[in-house]
Amino acid sequence: MSEDAADVQRVLSGDVDAYAKLVDRYYDRCARFAIRMLGNRDDAEDALQSTFLRAYRALGRYQERDRFSAWLYRILVNQCRSIAARRSHRERVFVREEALLLNAPDKRPAWSGEDEEFVQRVLNELDPLLREAFLLKYVEELSYEEMAALTGAGVSALKMRVKRACDRLRERWERIRDD
């Protein structure tokens, strides 16, 4: 039995504190995905709180044959989608303001590698569907089969989204280089 499955078992046996170990084990990784996906910490915090709360409520349905991390990620991905849908109006305003910023020539050195805000801004430029696929593939390093189980999309569609995300980033590099 894996460490995760053992902790789940302890929670279901009444040891609530065992759930803190699961939360502690996965919080940072989930936080990275939520922040990269949603683009701001407030929404990410909402997504994380509701993800771990919903996972706790649904723990009795967790099947040991599944990886706990994959099961948890499925909830997280959907919470991020729900929050993205709820803030759709705010997002449109945000995107419009962001567009003003992005229209300014991007003269900063793209390779400095030290500006998280810059990376987030580039990720925000991607369509959410492409951003999600890019993050799951290259940041969370999931297989396409795992991604399919999380997102409900087919493997070929996911491969296409990852390719398009990479294409967008390549195009962006060319724009920066040409400026």
Partner 1 sequence: MTEQDAYVAWMAREAKRPVAVDPMAVERVMARVRLEPRPRRRGAGWRWLVEPRALPLSPALGAALAAGLVGIGAFLGHMQNDRGGQNPAGRSPTVAPQPPLASHDTIIKFVLVAPHAATVSVVGDFNDWDAQATPMKRTPTGGTWSVAIPLRPGRHVYAFVVNGANGGTQWVADPMAPLAPEDGLGAPNSVVLVGGSAS
Contact residues: partner 1, CB under 8 A? 11-12, 14, 16-17, 19-20, 23-24, 27-28, 31-32, 35-36, 45, 48-49, 52-61, 63, 74-75, 78, 81-82, 84-85, 88, 91, 110-111, 113, 116, 119, 122-123, 127-129, 132, 134-135, 138-139, 148-149, 151-154, 166, 169-170, 172-174, 177
Of 66, 86, 68, nearest to 7 (Cα)? 68
In the complex, minimum distance from the CB of residue 179 to partner 1, in angstroms, rounded to a whole number: 14
Shortest spacing between CB 30 and partner 1, in angstroms: 10
Which one, of 16, 155, 1, 131, lies nearest residue 77 by Cα?
A: 131
Q: Which is nearer to partner 1, 3 or 154 (CB)?
A: 154
Name which of 20 and 99 has its Cβ closer to partner 1: 20
Q: Which of 3, 141, 92 is CA-nearest to residue 11?
A: 3
Q: How far is the CB of 101 from partner 1 (least distance, A)?
A: 18
Which residues touch 94 (CB under 8 Å, ≥6 apart)? 39
CA-based nearest residue to 45, from 85, 83, 1: 83
CB nearer to partner 1: give 105 or 113: 113
Q: Which two tokens stand for residue 29?
A: 């990784």
For 126, which DSSP code?
S
Shortest reach from residue 19's CB to partner 1, in Å = 6
Compute the distance between CA of residue 139 and CA of residue 151 in angstroms, rounded to an integer.
16
